[in-house]
Structure 1
Amino acid sequence: MRLDYGVTRAPARLFFGPGQRQAIGRAARDLGRKVLICTDERLARLPILQEILEDITVHNGLEATVFDATEPELPLAGILDCVAEYRSFDPDVIVGLGGGSCLDLAKLVSLLLSYEGPLSQYYGEFKVPGPVRPLIAVPTTSGTGSEVTPVAVLADPERTMKVGISSPALIPHTAICDPELTVTCPPGLTAISGADALAHAVEAFAAVSRPPDPRMAMERVFVGKNTLSDHYALLAIKLIFESLRRAVADGGDIEARSAVMLGATYAGLAFGSGGTAIAHAIQYPVGAQTHTAHGLGVGILLPYTMDFNMQAASASYAEVGRVIGAASADQPDEEAGRAAIAAVRKLFGDIGIPASLRNIALTEDDLDSLSVLSMNAARLVENNPAAVDPESIKQILMRAL
């Protein structure tokens, strides 16, 4: 673990624990009088939304309205529809309630209510001109870490794959992480969300290590491996490894749900400065072609990208192996690192993540185009501990088939 440089970007307030959703209304009251809740159709039908609305309106005297049409993978059209529908409402504060798409929708709606479009002018890093309207992020899955990150991802039909907007201005003002909100998350979604969270932590912990230039955090959202992201990443890895199997097997196990949610939040804090790497870079075109969930693609790819990175990241992977109990303190780094990769494969197999990209309908014919497209995620490719080119990505994809 490096000790010469560290960066953390985080919400002003982060509340964690069972029942903490009851703080949403009071938190919103600190930020304004008019509240827009961004959620999806499934959550809108659950009693929990009425409970939250009553807290905001009756107990805290605020005005609130709900957008409940968030779609998976967050298409651009849905963002624009929400902005058009609620611009006249002119909310002071926006609550994202749901999975990563709901939280990212809230971020991007806040951006477009604060500054002129088109949204495409903000694609990339550090292009948001200043603060956006305050956000309260309330996750109901344990995966993306969007409640604490400076990143929002969307699907633009003019782009081949999903695009990101990365800026510290998008970090929610308040994150409220209540594990009781995840108990209705089905086993399959729990598994792929957890795989995504683990990938965030592993990739941040093994990211490229850059010289500690004082200007770097002002010029790069993802600065690479650093002492503060390492701290959060190792905590996340330990929590997720210890509890994800239990959370998938028994959604009502609140202890396991709490551990996985805390791990996902720590993983978000880790990659919010440390960044992710080629498992995520490759998943973007894979997900665009197969129309499969982000966490599923990342879960399939992570062990293969760890294999590829082994020589460049053996010390980091060895530390992962030791913190999860897959390796002992006296084992050589390469042996301990291999044990960590084997443990990731075993965990993902146990929770139902397939071992091959063939399970999501990819074939050898897809590899050349996917290899080239993966390189377009430059900020992730540059963050990888080993040098990457289209041919090396093709080799990873061949093994993942």
Structure 2
Amino acid sequence: MNPPTGASLRLISLVLALAGPMTDALAAPPGYQVELLPVPRTGAYATTASAIDNSGVVGVNYANLKNYIESAAYLCTPAQCNAIPRLHEYPKFPRNSVYALNDAGVATGSSDDLMGEGFAGHGYLYDGSNLVRIPGFDQDGCGGCSLESVGYGINASGHVVGTSRTAKSRTRAFFFHDGLMLEIGYLGGHDSAALGINDSDQAVGYADVGGTDDIHAFLYRNGRTKDLGTLPGGNYSAASAINNRGRIVGWSNLAQNGLMVPILYKKGTMAALPMLDGATWGKALALNEADWVVGETEVAAGERHAFLYDGHSTYDLNDMLTADQRAEWTIEQAVGINDLGQIAANGRHRTSGAVRAFLFSPVAAGAAR
């Protein structure tokens, strides 16, 4: 990740206060200021965070719950949300999503676009003013058009990984840079997806393993794809993110077709992360350069809690809420953590069931929450 740019005085103060503790895991997590991110629209809707950059900007997706089709993408801080434009304004049920950000303020995701005489979703690069289309793989016989694509990860150079459909309706992982689409992540099977990329163009995701029913996490680097395998006894794994130190997080099962547990892969070894007490499954979704990991677990039937792992212990993000916040919200999923320790998360209202995006910002010991 690039060093933070354009940070507010509040964030600069956080860096100074936490510069020592963030270099190594703490015995206990710092206190957090928990903020509900702004609501960009009104009506029956959900807002979900998808990513966070080092200046504390959060990618937020809006979904209209009346038609379950209309969606919009925003870049949000606690002060305001700015909309990401669409590649094409389809008037009836417009769709737009954001899935990843880099520290230069460039976003990627999926947006409405024209394809031949119809509509499709294509990945994009958006730097705050310019919107660039990421084509899917070429489709034979359609006059130069391309199939659907989605950008799921972006690095400091603006290189993007994600998925694109093929002419045979398969889904394949791609690496997009300098206008070129490269297929990656092939493990001998039919389908694959790339979910994360670091500044060295190392990409991770998951793919079908040829000749089996297995799905395995993969690492793509220097033009080659490596099968990362699974935890002992498992047949399914996926890698969701990789940092600049080459550490990888994701999830794997422990037995064939069994429940998933969060994993950390480093130095050639995959290990399960400790889960919250009583948790039955979990997924690690993101990590920062200090190897702090966030994700989600199920702690009871139908009840999910977001977690933070600091290298020694796993903490429930709900324990970081004030009493009033905890009475109103359950934080179910943490989707991103930056190098300031800020966390992008999603919570569900205990009464209405509404889902909203949250920002967790660490505060110095003894500071007001």
Question: TM-score, normalised on structure 2?
Answer: 0.26
Q: Which structure: greater helix fraction? A: 1
Higher RCO (CA < 8 A, seq sep 6+) = 1
Question: TM-score, normalised on structure 1?
Answer: 0.25
